[in-house]
Structure 1
């Protein structure tokens, strides 16, 4: 995968100066970018301290599997006279040096972004493993007072001396923050993977999707963190589940213990009862430091496999934490990223849009009225600019801001696909009927098995591909008859044919979900499985109803391990389909919540 070369220049961070009556925190900003400067008297030093320390923890978080260096162990074997010769040891050292040595240390994510505008200071970080995004917005006039500033966007490096200085901030001591560009210092060029830049833009684009908003009290989030701290899940699933019933407070359920934590916030205002399952709950512990400052927590739930956004109202500031639901090595992003594929947009419209936002942050409706363009056209242009990194969407205020991710514009073609394999998968999908789903089998508690056939007409080859999704949406088994899989299996990730089949399955599931809301669309459904649940105190009664051509399979009970079962056969597929939807509608009237998409 290609890299973007980015040059930084920082002076050395100087320890804060001051006495017991004052504390000056001088932040060295990137001198290789246009000048950005602000000097502000902080009104809430303790809030600024904790907010910046949380950003530092997000930046350091990395959930990916870390490879172990076995060179020392091989050296030990040599000393013991074991069957590990010098050639093996030298080959191991060469491999580790090439993969993790000085040659690759320059490949790194972007440093945190430091933006200054009339309405405040915004600092953004994105973790190395592409799983966690955070944005701290300090409100001008509430969090700080400043007589003058130079607006723009720069970079800030979180070094150990800076983190030590932040930990030394005290609420009783006046704090002055001075961010200014580095005039001195050596310029250093780093190679930022386009894969990382693309994921950064994808999280931004995801924030613009329709979402279910849930209001929690700070104590609700505290109860979740305390429960996770006291218990450790040893079996799957390990999700944080939201059970939403209109007019009732949300219920938070911790899996696999099915521990119910009733929320004390506002009742759910949605129109339809539903269950939303979210992942990455352990990363919520990053917010623990800020809970004493939090007035309310707004959770934006986008759906299964999509990011979940937690917006903390800190009074004088706002922190937005996005948990992406995938990591660098995960399969989940393959299907999720496909939702944000940039389309063909007018470059002139994009420039006009960026110019408008550079003057003042605006909502989508305001931009539509100002540019005199259809709403969908403006939204597609915004999506493209979000992926390019020129625009950011603040989900807390519902405003789009101009914020260049890098000093030089990014190449959109480099951001279009995650890697060469994904590009090949999209090439296969571009031709109709090249990728076909042949069988979708519901495995109950074990997940779903998907079989397919991929015809690569360009290579004159045909492949049999399959994979299995567990209850957490992860790919636990996969196979393909192609040469890449036979040679390396899944050690190098999914092959293009697996990715193509995964994308095809995700697209068809989304199309079916949309079509089933209309009578015409229901007639097209020949096979599917829905799960409905109803909570009665501590117990949960669940129904799993499967339609497969002319038969319906019913499974119900309070214990997922011992469900009762009934199979119904019909003379015609139409009769089975009508009976299937009648049962679903009847259960919905009885208060059951559709948990199929969770």
Structure 2
């Protein structure tokens, strides 16, 4: 996907005649107008969190091959000293032959480069080629920007948010500047844009002092203004689709249940100082968090066994647990913040799972989300977007959610009129998937945030998702009734809490009926989010959710919205009427154009209440619900003298409402 990023001039900073430091963040010119000029309060803290953000965006902790050429040359010299003159002469000629070989290899590379465009005309480029070409282009044309993908800045009514990814895409960084920390000067235009954030600007950030006023300006300036300050900067890039997918996974994982643990800045300073002093040569390379209710957490640094105990905060969870975190050196990005931090809070999703860290300084907030381990970057991490919303949303629902969110800039699913909470949540998640919205963990709400000026195409599904789709299409998912007993589910823990609905299903391992079946359990909340998931397959037993849900959980999640609608309707009927219609063992068929509800919704409710849903009319059918333009099924039902209902009559059985 080729994207052109255009800037009137590079971002800049400097001290004016009054001694104030003015920072101009040049916005991407093709975006809708975003404008903000403000004096920053507690500017030194602002500079610190922005420098931590730069640490994230410029970091790459992927393992690199070490250069052993010097050692190998020394070994070769010692070897030559031990040989006779004849053989030694031949070996001394070897470097010249290797040099010739190197020249031939370079020639071969040159010819390969000429051939490659011809090959690319008959076969598509994969992502890795695109990413390689992009960074090679950027390194040649703008060395400073080569280290970063331009940060995203969003100006909202209550805060300004900066977001970035690290080079290895395993760390997500965010800075939130609340509105009360800005003294706004002039007009403000809300919206989202990219900003040019170079190493030179980071150097100027280091010059900020508490006694020196600091001003922030975000604006897309015209070319005429830029002529005196610098030339227009254009970057035409092949934007990796993983960039948008990474944002989606970060915010989707944020809504998954997690353990929230406060730490004192001094404790984490000790941990990070130990990591800076030592360099591990053997495994394991993890941080081990021991959490016991009513006691202060302890952190063990492996492989050295160094134990550091929290001195201030106690763990308030219900049960003792242990969390292990890998890729720990990514936390060094905020090491310089800790001596000045007011508070530090960690959110753990589980061992080997993503974690979130929040640090506040004088009201400014820095957040970093790290994937389960460094090589498991956010773009290839768990499919948390699937677990974040199980509901179904039509194109009309998505359009309505988009209009409402763009108008309000910030909302929760219940704010969208005429949509149920699970449908609204599903619609908002679709907007997140196309880069048009974000979920804000700090405020537990959705915000309007366009990563690009246009919706981004949703990336192709992975292999597990495709298998899950085939399992659903071939009828491989069978949900159990609440009254059904099965030993396969007897060892499970209780529901997440009283506000969730538990569903149990047998899911086939593949497309054919001879495949083994696995027991899947899901807990869904009122918004259709998965709060707990488990499966008896070997993949889940080995990986849990560290590498994403297995195909069987994905298949069950795909049908879970129908079950949730049925469970809600059944719960409402139980509390509203003792004389509710008994669906037990009754077979319903739905036909025609249904306008009051979807066929999937109605079938889910029938099954949840103990009935059966069929796609064809037979002598075993008890009721046919017919919408507009009902055809052959209606004729056959009349022939067999099967009772026929309208949509309103079916709704009357449910107490007047589908939800």
**Residue aligned with 1:189, SS:** strand
Give the conservation status (yes or no) of the 8 Å contact 1:6–1:192: no
Corresponding position: 1:80 with 2:96: yes
Corresponding position: 1:276 with 2:320: no
Give the conservation status (yes or no) of the 8 Å contact 2:7–2:26: no
Q: Which residue of the other structure, out of 292, 303, 316, is the alignment partner of 2:363?
A: 316
CA apart distance, 1:207: 0.8
Q: For the residues of structure 2 that align with 1:212 and 1:187, how far apart are their CA atoms? A: 44
Q: Which residue of the other structure, out of 426, 446, 452, is the alignment partner of 1:400?
A: 446
Q: Please name the residue that 1:30 is paired with.
A: 28
Q: Which residue of the other structure, out of 91, 95, 110, is the alignment partner of 2:108?
A: 91
Give the conservation status (yes or no) of the 8 Å contact 2:253–2:388: no
Give the conservation status (yes or no) of the 8 Å contact 1:326–1:333: no
Give the conservation status (yes or no) of the 8 Å contact 1:332–1:473: no
Q: Please name the residue that 2:207 is paired with.
A: 168
Q: For the residues of structure 1 that align with 2:11 and 2:445, how far apart are their CA atoms? A: 34
Change (3 A) 1:304 1:161: same
Q: Please name the residue that 1:129 is paired with.
A: 168
Q: How many residues align?
A: 451
Larger radius of gyration: 2
Give the conservation status (yes or no) of the 8 Å contact 2:248–2:385: no
Corresponding position: 1:179 with 2:218: yes
Q: For the residues of structure 2 that align with 1:509 and 1:228, how far apart are their CA atoms? A: 43
Q: For the residues of structure 2 that align with 1:241 and 1:372, how far apart are their CA atoms? A: 47
CA apart distance, 1:266: 3.0
TM-score (norm 2): 0.59
Give the conservation status (yes or no) of the 8 Å contact 1:38–1:148: yes
Q: Please name the residue that 1:21 is paired with.
A: 19
CA apart distance, 1:267: 2.3
Give the conservation status (yes or no) of the 8 Å contact 2:47–2:205: yes
Give the conservation status (yes or no) of the 8 Å contact 1:241–1:252: yes
Q: Write the deviation string for residues 465-521 of structure 1: whole angstroms up to 9, x where unpaired.
A: xx999999999xxxxxxxxxxxxxxxxxxxxxxx99x945987999xxxxxxxxxxx
Q: Write the deviation string for residues 232-277 of structure 1: whole angstroms up to 9, x where unpaired.
A: 2222222222222222222222223333322234322222222222
Change (3 A) 1:392 1:473: same
Give the conservation status (yes or no) of the 8 Å contact 2:465–2:551: no
Corresponding position: 1:411 with 2:442: no
Give the conservation status (yes or no) of the 8 Å contact 1:111–1:155: yes
Matches for 1:431-450 after TM superposition, within 5 Å: none
Give the conservation status (yes or no) of the 8 Å contact 2:388–2:429: no
**Residue aligned with 1:371, SS:** coil
Give the conservation status (yes or no) of the 8 Å contact 2:252–2:384: no
Give the conservation status (yes or no) of the 8 Å contact 1:309–1:322: yes
Matches for 1:397-546 after TM superposition, within 5 Å: 397-412=443-458, 415-417=459-461, 503-504=550-551
Give the conservation status (yes or no) of the 8 Å contact 1:126–1:132: yes
Q: Please name the residue that 1:215 is paired with.
A: 262
**Residue aligned with 2:97, SS:** coil
Q: Which residue of the other structure, out of 132, 136, 139, is the alignment partner of 1:105?
A: 136
CA apart distance, 1:40: 0.8
CA apart distance, 1:106: 4.7
Q: For the residues of structure 2 that align with 1:140 and 1:328, how far apart are their CA atoms? A: 37
Change (3 A) 1:338 1:49: closer
Q: Please name the residue that 1:62 is paired with.
A: 60
Give the conservation status (yes or no) of the 8 Å contact 1:241–1:276: yes
Q: For the residues of structure 2 that align with 1:303 and 1:432, how far apart are their CA atoms? A: 34
Q: For the residues of structure 2 that align with 1:231 and 1:70, how far apart are their CA atoms? A: 22
Q: Please name the residue that 1:491 is paired with.
A: none
CA apart distance, 1:456: 9.4
Q: For the residues of structure 2 that align with 1:95 and 1:70, how far apart are their CA atoms? A: 28
Give the conservation status (yes or no) of the 8 Å contact 2:261–2:347: yes
Q: For the residues of structure 2 that align with 1:507 and 1:13, how far apart are their CA atoms? A: 45
Q: Write the deviation string for residues 260-302 of structure 1: whole angstroms up to 9, x where unpaired.
A: 3222343222222222222221111110121233111111111
Q: For the residues of structure 2 that align with 1:135 and 1:400, how far apart are their CA atoms? A: 16
Q: Which residue of the other structure, out of 383, 391, 396, is the alignment partner of 2:429?
A: 383
Q: Please name the residue that 1:49 is paired with.
A: 47
- The answer to which of 91-100 and 224-233 deviates more is 91-100
Q: Please name the residue that 2:651 is paired with.
A: none
Q: 5+ residue gaps in structure 1?
A: 435-452, 458-466, 476-498, 511-598
From the two aligned structures, give the one with the greater strand fraction: 1
Q: Please name the residue that 1:296 is paired with.
A: 343
CA apart distance, 1:15: 4.7
**Residue aligned with 2:14, SS:** coil
Aligned alpha-carbon RMSD (Å): 4.3
Q: Please name the residue that 1:239 is paired with.
A: 286
Q: For the residues of structure 1 that align with 2:554 and 2:346, how far apart are their CA atoms? A: 26
